[in-house]
Every structure is written in C-alpha cells, then in structure tokens.
Amino acid sequence: MSPTNNPEPRAASVLKARNLAKAFGSNKVLRDIDIDIRRGQVVALIGPSGSGKTTVLRSLNGLEVPDGGTVTFGGTGTNGDTSGGLSIDFGSKVGKKDIAALRDRSAMVFQHYNLFPHMTVLKNIIEGPVQVQKRPKAEAIAEAERLLERVGLADKRDAYPFELSGGQQQRVGIVRALALKPQLLLFDEPTSALDPELVGDVLGVIKELAEEGWTMVIVTHELAFAQHVADEVIFMDGGVVVERGPAAEVLRAPRQERTKLFVKRLQHDV
Amino acid sequence: MNWDLIWSSFGPLITGAVTGTIPLTLASFAFGLILALVVALMRLSSNWLLSGIGRFYVSVIRGTPLLVQLFVIFFGLPSIGIRLDPWPSAIIAFSLNVGGYAAEIIRAAILSVPKGQWEAGHTIGMSRPQTLVRIILPQAARVSVPPLSNTFISLVKDTSLASLILVTELFRNAQQIAAFSQEFMALYLQAALVYWVICLVLSTAQSAVERRLDRYVAH
C-alpha cells in the first residue's frame, strides 16, 4: 500500500495552488490562498472555525469550485501513474472534465465518514476502484482485504457501516480513500466526530500513513497530533493564511499574534 | 339470497382480477414509476424550464380527478383524431396519474439522502449520474417504499374506474353479474372482498420489502 516515494527535502511537487479565492455571496471565505505540497509531505491546516481551512481542502478535491486561482498537479503520481500534469485556472470556465481530473488525483476522508450505508465495508472500498477506475474486481478485493488487515478491520469486511463504531467507520473511510491510490490524501477533521477514546486509533493510522510516505493535507484541531505528524503547519484565519512554517515553529513559537492566541486557546482546552 | 349464484360469481370476479385488475395495475405502476423518476429528476434539475415542466405536470395530475383524466383520454382524444382502445387508454391514464404522485415521493426521497453521500460519490471519482444510480437511488428507495406502497395499493383500487371505459376487469364483471341477477348487495360486497384480499397480500409484500431494505439500518 505504501507509495514508493519518501519524504525528501526537495521531492517533486505534487500540488501547487495559487491565489485561490472563493466567496459565498458577499462572504469572502478564501482570499488569495497559496499552497505548495511536495511528495511525501504532510501539511496540517489549522485555524478557528469559519477560517476557510475546510473550504481550501474541499477545493483541492473539486467539492467546492473556487471563483479564482489556479491548481497545478505534478505529472507523476503513485504506483507508476503517468497520467500527466494537470493545471486548472478557476478564473476561466471550469468544465466537468477538469473537476473529474482533479478528483482523480486526490481522495477525501470526511469528518462524518460518509460511508455508503447500503454497502458492506468491502463494497464501500472497492466501489471506486471497480466502478470508476475499472480495475479487475478480484484485484480490488485483494487490495481491499490487505488494507483492512492493515487497519485491524479484516473481520469487518462483510459488516454494514451501522454495525461499526465511529472509529472503525473512519478507518474504513481512510481505506476507501487509499484504495483509489491517489497522489494526495485529504483529511477533513477526521477525528472531530469521534468519541475521545476512539480518536487514538484513527490518528495512529494516519501517522503510519505519514511514515509510509503518503502525501497528505489534514484539517485538524488536534495540535499535538499536528506537531507530531505534520511537516508543515498552515494557520488560517478569516480566509487568509496568517502563518505557515515547520510544525514545531508555528505551534511552539508562533510569530503572529492571531496564531499565538489560537494555539494558546486550544492548548488550554486540552 | 341466491347462494349458488354468489358462490359461482367468485370465478368471474377472480378471473377479472387476474386478467384485468392485476395486469392493469402492474403495467401502469411500472410505466408510472419510470415517468415519476424522470419527472422527479426534472424537478430537481437546475434548469428552470425542465423543473417548470415537471412542476406543471405534477400540479395538473394532482389537481384533477383521475376519472376526468381517464375520460379525457378515452372519450376526449377521439375528437382530435386520436382513437385509443380501452386498455391502452386505461394504462396511459393510470401511468400518468401514478407518475404525478410518485414523482413527488421520489423527489422527496432523493432529497432526504444526506449531501455527504453525493460528496463521497464524487470523491471516489463518480460523475453525478453514476452517484445518483449507485449511491443515492438505492438509499432513496428505502425511504420511498412505504409511500410508494400506498400509491400502489391506491392504484389497485383505482383501476376499478377502468370499468367505466369498458375495460373488462374485476369490477366490471361484478357489475354485469349484478345487473343480470339483481344481487347488487352480494356482488358488490364480493368485489370489495376480492379487492381487500389483493391489498392484504400487497401489504404483506410491502413489509417484506421494507425488512429487506432495512437490513443496513440500525434498529
């Protein structure tokens, strides 16, 4: 399951986003957001609610379409993917094909898991590979079983989502994303809906993926986890990037006043 | 009371149900559901013309009596040169009628599926139609079975109206035997009994379908 790449200081660029802008009516939720992600890098997006961090994440997967800005994906992905580069200018007309191409390159793990309730765990996982990517079913099943084994849910393969705990559902959500073999994994507050005692399992899985070299963007409120796993932390507020840098710097010694306040408040809550 | 006549009348009534009422119901419901799905999707479309047509259709069907719709098709259309036999007339009228009512049920059922399910479909790379068919409709089906069953059971009974445009079905057979024997009370009660039995069977089937569709829901 692990991509063959490792995080290196000057690894190839996976994603470059420039000047992403988005408004809902008169509410400007994103203003000129730039993001660079290199292969194997883990980026944590933090910030108060309403800061725009989830919108950034969703834009990268085409679940929101920005009003302006560009997104460029590098040419080669995991597993020998040679699908070529992708460049989308949201300022001009964006077609279904562009959005589809964007979604090909990344996969989202949702806060509320969003598993398909009418499918078993196994079917949830192989749905994308078989129906969309047209991979052979036997191969997709074997891969799904291997991934389930990895996250300790091999025995749940034929269970329906409602039979699983939140933590188990989220691990299935992660496996469903992995099975697509995306270049980029996106996590939208993956532990926010979980009971505290279930958070550890899910964070453990994400940490292992980071160590294996998966490229990830994680929107999270778990600052300790971000510091532990992320290479870079981006702090957003009011639709702009307030501060960014190595995790330890931004979280331990923030330079901006707003970052200091935010970090302090969250650490008090813990 | 002529008990022999009453007893022997069950034969023609059941024949009428099997060769008239039931096929008429099944055909109309099948066509009606397809129509309803199309109309529901039109109403959900962001294209104002499509959604407007869908809304108008539903409004007309729900705002006019089924008997009037049936008469327009069978007795009205010939005046503009369209002459249809009783059976096609009945199937068209009932299908259009089911289409109007079921469209609203299906539309509501599609809307009841959480938005996150669309997003999950999209994130694994599915197009909108693909997500609709593989992710949304199976979940909407579960929600829509109880109200659609109501529509279905109503339809079974509504097909008795087809007797008025000379379709040979359960109720028309009852009317003819009653007129001939003058046993009105007995024959109409017998007809009621046969309709009731059909609907009882359908209710049981409905429960079975609901149980099957509920297998993935916490109880």
Average pLDDT over residues A118-133: 96
Other CB atoms within 10 A of residue A196 CB = 7
The domain spanning residue B92 has which CATH number?
Answer: 1.10.3720.10
B5 located within any domain: yes
Decide if pLDDT at B164 tops 50: yes
B117 located within any domain: yes
For residue A142, the enclosing domain spans 11-269
Provide DSSP, A3-52: -S----TTPPEEEEEEEEEEEETTEEEEEEEEEEEETT-EEEEE--TTSS
A218 located within any domain: yes
What is d(CA B131, CA B218) in angstroms, rounded to the nearest whole number? Answer: 23
B218 located within any domain: no
Do the Cβ atoms of B127 and A96 come within 8 Å? Answer: yes
Do the Cβ atoms of B215 and A160 come within 8 Å? Answer: yes
Q: What is the pLDDT of residue A75?
A: 60
Question: Exposed e or buried b for every residue in A76-103, given b needs 16+ CB within 10 A?
Answer: bbbeeeeeeebebebeeebeeebbebbb
Who among A118, A131, A180 is closest to B139 (CB)? A118
- CB proximity under 8 Å: A 33-62 to B: 61-62
Using a CB-CB cut-off of 8 Å, the residues of chain A touching B130 are 131-132
Stretch among A6-20, A138-152, B46-60 having the lowest mean pLDDT: A6-20
Kind of pairing between the strands at A68-73 and A13-24: antiparallel
Q: What is the pLDDT of residue B215?
A: 80
Q: What is the pLDDT of residue A77?
A: 44
State pLDDT tens for residues B84-102.
Answer: 999 999 999 999 999 999 9
Pick the residue of B113, B117, B124, B213 with the most A CBs within 10 A to test the interface with A by mutation: B124
State pLDDT tens for residues A201-248.
Answer: 899 999 999 999 999 999 999 898 899 899 999 999 999 999 999 999
A4 located within any domain: no
pLDDT band at B213 (very low <50, low <70, confident <90, very high): confident
A159 located within any domain: yes
For residue B130, the enclosing domain spans 1-213
B219 located within any domain: no
pLDDT band at A11 (very low <50, low <70, confident <90, very high): confident
Q: What is the pLDDT of residue B219?
A: 56
Alpha helical stretches, state H, chain A = 53-60, 96-105, 121-127, 137-150, 166-178, 196-212, 223-229, 247-252, 257-269
Kind of pairing between the strands at A216-219 and A184-188: parallel
Q: How far is B123 from chain A (nearest CA, A)?
A: 6
pLDDT band at B217 (very low <50, low <70, confident <90, very high): confident
Q: What is the pLDDT of residue A10?
A: 61
Who among A108, A112, A163 is closest to B123 (CB)? A108
A6 located within any domain: no
What is d(CA A170, CA A191) in angstroms, rounded to the nearest whole number? Answer: 8
A&B contacts, CB < 8 Å: 63
Which residue did the predictor score with more confidence, A82 or B38? Answer: B38
Mean pLDDT, rounded, of chain B: 94
Where are any strands of DSSP class E within B112-206?
A: none
pLDDT band at B6 (very low <50, low <70, confident <90, very high): confident
| Cα dihedral sign, B133-B139-B143-B149 | positive
pLDDT band at B16 (very low <50, low <70, confident <90, very high): very high
What is d(CA A208, CA A174) in angstroms, rounded to the nearest whole number? Answer: 12
The domain spanning residue A159 has which CATH number?
Answer: 3.40.50.300
What is d(CA B124, CA A100) in angstroms, rounded to the nearest whole number? Answer: 10
Chain mean position to CA B33: 8
Q: What is the pLDDT of residue B153?
A: 96
The answer to whether A45 and A262 are in contact (CB under 8 A) is: no
What CA–CA distances, in Å, run from A28 to A36, A50, A239?
Answer: 22, 11, 7
A2 located within any domain: no
Residues 6+ positions from A192 with CB-CB distance below 8 Å = A111, A221
Q: How many domains does chain A have?
A: 1
Q: How far is A246 from chain B (nearest CA, A)?
A: 29
Q: What angle, 0 to 180 degrees and rounded to 10, lies between the N-to-C axes of helices B22-44 and B48-63?
A: 140
Token pair belonging to A196? 């505290």
Using a CB-CB cut-off of 8 Å, the residues of chain B touching A110 are 116, 119-120, 123
State pLDDT tens for residues A63-113.
Answer: 999 999 999 988 654 444 445 688 899 988 888 888 998 999 999 999 999
Decide if pLDDT at A270 tops 70: no
The residue of chain B with its CA nearest to that of A61 is: B123
3-state secondary structure of A117: coil
Task: Tally the residues of chain A.
Answer: 270
Is A108 part of the contact surface with chain B (CB cutoff 8 Å)? yes
Using a CB-CB cut-off of 8 Å, the residues of chain A touching B115 are none
Q: How many domains does chain B have?
A: 1
A39 located within any domain: yes
The residue of chain B with its CA nearest to that of A161 is: B216
Residues 6+ positions from A14 with CB-CB distance below 8 Å = A37, A38, A39, A41, A73, A74, A77, A183, A184, A215
Who among B120, B130, B215 is closest to A116 (CB)? B120
Provide DSSP, B41-53: HHHHSS-HHHHHH
> Pick from A235, A249, A230: which is nearest to A37 by CA?
A230
The answer to whether A90 and A69 are in contact (CB under 8 A) is: yes
Q: What is the pLDDT of residue A78?
A: 45
Which residue did the predictor score with more confidence, A82 or B187? Answer: B187
Q: What are phi and psi of A18, to 5 degrees?
A: -130, 130
Q: What is the pLDDT of residue A3?
A: 52
